[in-house]
């Protein structure tokens, strides 16, 4: 069942389609998507021209954080199907030359996991130190000032053990203690189990959280007026600390090294890391240096930004990524299951099909691997989920300033009548606005976002410079234009993107270019001058190497 890999570097420049299984396709009428639903939609997924699927957690879980709280690493949650369903999915995906990446949560388990239930019993049992336990201070308060991403202290009191345990996220998600060698051994065994069943790699959740400061030192408070921690709501106290000791410790490197050593036993198997950090690019660069640790890490730069998206911001972002990761291979994403959809977030109040097409082209033209989130190929905007329908514990904790992650997790719209997601009431409401962008609506429209995405993905594969090449920023007097060159061997392609709602022209000092046809934009080039309508792009190839 393992994918017969001939190119171990397949992931460089690959496009990975993220599926949030709860919201993709429901086949058993319980209102929740499942693995058979993914199998059912494999022809659609293959039609996009992607290289791999990243499936958000589907292992056994009480669903306190919708699968990111695992209670059994060796079992598929019955909510999503069976191990046989997964094996069928892997087999059918491989037959379509699509690889399967599994979202794996190693930092913490569910409070219901058997390991935690044993660990909490006393301080002497075999798994007593598998989790991060600490005594209370003399006044009964938590051991230090560490905070949970989801609000409040990162420590919860356990009546059974009479100690605090660490949870960087929900209290139902106790952190494992990677200072204990048996924990890493157990997790490597988990990874091997799934690799043996044909999984092609992992998206590793919260990969810089694995190891904590063994001395449990307090984090430093941010100075008044300094920007808060990235990736969290401004009203979340977590943003007010420098997270020096609760994550991103030096002892994490041996953990990552052993993970990579295991993956190397399976040709073509990869690990994509999620890094949320005060200095995420520096950490990402270190975690992907050489071939010792992770294959790639996706940057949060384009996931965190909203109203200040611009060509200037993109130039600065590319420059910063290249400064830190010039010897590594980055991974880019504009949307995922944790942030508002990019069609809304980057639109400055004016979402449009033209902007969505340009953002797709921009993402697929950067140096790196690309993650596309389900529905991004449809240009879906952020759904408005009313408070009484919200399910996300993170959003409920910080509402109304922060509405949580439900708006990007609503069901996929397969048709424009009942949505086609489920015959039952879905776990989150299906957006009426999304029905206008349903797959059935877009399938037969040559100008729709869906067919633009398919066409551009297919077109991109003709040019190694766009998938494998280096990137060099080109100075431009027009602030609304983002211009760079992608180079691979003798192939050089100049990419110019107009990120504004006004038309612009680009005058090139070097006229040794010819326009590349077929990219799908109504731009033009003649005698060293490129004409770019609003929200458009042009691709030029050097005539001489």
Q: What DSSP string runs through 491-502?
A: EEEEEEEE-SSS
CA 335 from chain centre, in angstroms, equals: 7
pLDDT at residue 229, as a whole number: 73
Helix (H, G, I), strand (E, B) or coil at 421: coil
Please provide the average confidence, as pLDDT, over all residues in the chain. Answer: 95
CA torsion, points 290, 292, 298, 300, in degrees to nearest 10?
-90
How does pLDDT run across 241-283, given as a tens digit for each residue?
A: 999 999 999 999 999 999 999 999 999 999 999 999 988 899 9
Q: Which CATH superfamily is domain 15-107+181-460 in?
A: Glycosidases (3.20.20.80)
DSSP 43-109: HHHHHHT-SEEEEPP-EE---TTTTSS-SEEEEE-TTT--HHHHHHHHHHHHHTT-EEEEEE--SB-
Q: How many residues does the chain have?
A: 545
Q: What is the tally of helices (H) and strands (E) in the chain?
A: 16, 23
Q: Among candidates 247, 231, 232, which has minimal Cα distance to 132? A: 247
Tell whether the model's pLDDT for residue 506 goes beyond 70.
yes
Tell whether the model's pLDDT for residue 382 goes beyond 90.
yes
Name the residues annotated as catalytic.
Answer: 205, 265
Rounded to an integer, the average pLDDT of 495-509 is: 95
Do 394 and 150 form a contact (C-beta atoms < 8 A)? yes
Rounded to an integer, the average pLDDT of 300-313 is: 88
Q: Could you tell me which residues come within 8 angstroms of residue 389 by beta carbon, excluding any fewer than 6 positions away? A: 406, 428, 429
Domain boundaries, the chain: 15-107+181-460, 465-542
Task: Identify the H or E element spanning 157.
Answer: strand 155-158
Backbone angles phi, psi at 519, to 5 degrees: -80, -15
CA torsion, points 359, 364, 367, 372, in degrees to nearest 10?
90
The half-sphere exposure of 247 on its side-chain side, counting CA atoms within 13 A, is 27
Q: Do 465-542 and 15-107+181-460 have the same topology in CATH?
A: no
Helix (H, G, I), strand (E, B) or coil at 176: strand
The residue with greater pLDDT, 159 or 278, is 159
The residue assigned the tokens 């879980």 is 61
Tell me whether strands 133-134 and 52-55 are parallel, antiparallel or unpaired. unpaired
Please state, in angstroms and rounded to a whole number, the distance separating the CA atoms of residues 151 and 214: 23
The two structure tokens encoding residue 175: 């952190």
- Indicate the burial class of 168 (C-beta count within 10 angstroms; 0-12, 13-18, 19 or more): buried
Please state, in angstroms and rounded to a whole number, the distance separating the CA atoms of residues 454 and 462: 14
Please report, in angstroms and rounded to a whole number, the separation of the first and last CA atoms in the chain. Answer: 43
Confidence of residue 298 (pLDDT cuts 50, 70, 90): confident
Tell whether the model's pLDDT for residue 294 goes beyond 80.
yes
pLDDT at residue 5, as a whole number: 54
Confidence of residue 6 (pLDDT cuts 50, 70, 90): low
Confidence of residue 107 (pLDDT cuts 50, 70, 90): very high
The two structure tokens encoding residue 400: 């109304």
Domain 465-542 has CATH 2.60.40.1180: yes
Tell whether the model's pLDDT for residue 3 goes beyond 80.
no
Tell whether the model's pLDDT for residue 498 goes beyond 80.
yes
Say what the pTM is.
0.97
Helix (H, G, I), strand (E, B) or coil at 182: helix
Rg (CA), the chain: 23
Rounded to an integer, the average pLDDT of 136-163 is: 98
Do 137 and 91 form a contact (C-beta atoms < 8 A)? no
The two structure tokens encoding residue 22: 């709860």
pLDDT at residue 204, as a whole number: 98
Q: Among candidates 233, 283, 224, which has minimal Cα distance to 253? A: 283
pLDDT at residue 307, as a whole number: 77
Q: Among candidates 342, 330, 369, 358, which has minimal Cα distance to 466? A: 369
How does pLDDT run across 440-482, given as a tens digit for each residue?
A: 999 999 999 999 999 999 999 999 999 999 999 999 989 999 9
Tell whether the model's pLDDT for residue 232 goes beyond 70.
yes
């Amino acid at each position: 069942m393992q994918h017969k890999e001939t190119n171990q570097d397949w992931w460089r420049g690959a496009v990975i389609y993220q599926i949030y299984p709860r919201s993709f396709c429901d086949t058993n009428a319980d209102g929740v998507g499942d693995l058979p639903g993914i199998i059912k939609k494999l022809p659609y997924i293959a039609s996009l021209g992607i290289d791999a699927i990243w499936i958000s957690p589907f292992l056994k879980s009480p669903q306190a954080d919708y699968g990111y709280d695992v209670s059994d690493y060796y079992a598929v949650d019955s909510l999503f199907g069976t191990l046989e369903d997964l094996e069928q999915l892997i087999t059918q995906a491989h037959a379509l030359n699509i690889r399967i990446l599994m979202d794996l949560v190693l930092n913490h388990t569910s409070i219901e996991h058997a390991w935690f239930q044993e660990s909490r019993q006393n301080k002497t049992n075999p798994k007593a130190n598998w989790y991060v336990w600490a005594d209370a201070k003399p006044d009964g308060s938590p051991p230090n000032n560490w905070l949970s991403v989801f609000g409040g202290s990162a420590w919860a009191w356990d009546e059974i053990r009479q100690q605090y345990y660490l949870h960087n996220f929900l209290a139902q998600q106790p952190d494992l203690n990677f200072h204990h060698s048996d924990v890493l051994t157990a997790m490597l065994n988990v990874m091997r189990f799934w690799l043996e069943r044909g999984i092609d790699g992992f998206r590793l959740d919260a990969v810089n959280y694995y190891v904590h400061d063994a001395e449990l030192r307090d984090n430093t408070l941010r100075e008044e007026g300094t920007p808060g921690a990235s990736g969290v709501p401004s009203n979340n106290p977590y943003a007010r600390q420098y997270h020096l000791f609760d994550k991103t410790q030096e002892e994490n490197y041996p953990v990552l090294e052993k993970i990579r050593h295991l993956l190397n036993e399976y040709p073509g198997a990869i690990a994509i890391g999620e890094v949320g950090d005060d200095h995420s690019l520096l950490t990402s660069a270190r975690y992907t240096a050489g071939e010792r640790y992770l294959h790639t890490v996706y940057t949060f730069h384009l996931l965190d930004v909203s109203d200040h998206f611009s060509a200037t911001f993109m130039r600065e972002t590319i420059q910063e990524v290249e400064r830190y990761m010039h010897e590594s291979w980055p991974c880019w994403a504009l949307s995922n299951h944790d942030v508002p959809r990019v069609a809304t977030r980057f639109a400055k109040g004016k979402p449009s099909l033209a902007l969505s097409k340009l953002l797709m082209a921009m993402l697929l033209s950067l140096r790196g691997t690309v993650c596309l989130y389900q529905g991004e190929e449809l240009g879906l905007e952020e759904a408005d989920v009313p408070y009484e329908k919200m399910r996300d514990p993170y959003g409920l904790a910080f509402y109304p300033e922060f509405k949580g992650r439900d708006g990007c997790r609503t069901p996929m719209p397969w048709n424009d009548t009942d949505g086609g997601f489920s015959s039952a009431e879905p776990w989150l409401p299906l957006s009426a606005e999304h029905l206008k962008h349903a797959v059935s609506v877009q399938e037969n429209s040559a100008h729709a976002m869906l067919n633009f995405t398919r066409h551009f993905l297919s077109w991109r594969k003709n040019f190694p410079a766009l998938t494998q090449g280096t990137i060099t920023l080109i100075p431009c007097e027009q602030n609304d234009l983002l211009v760079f060159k992608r180079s691979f061997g003798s192939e050089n392609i100049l990419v110019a993107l107009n990120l504004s709602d006004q038309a612009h022209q680009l005058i090139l000092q070097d006229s040794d270019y010819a326009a590349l046809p077929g990219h799908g934009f109504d731009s033009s080039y003649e005698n060293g001058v490129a004409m770019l309508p609003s929200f458009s792009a042009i691709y030029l190839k050097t005539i001489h190497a």
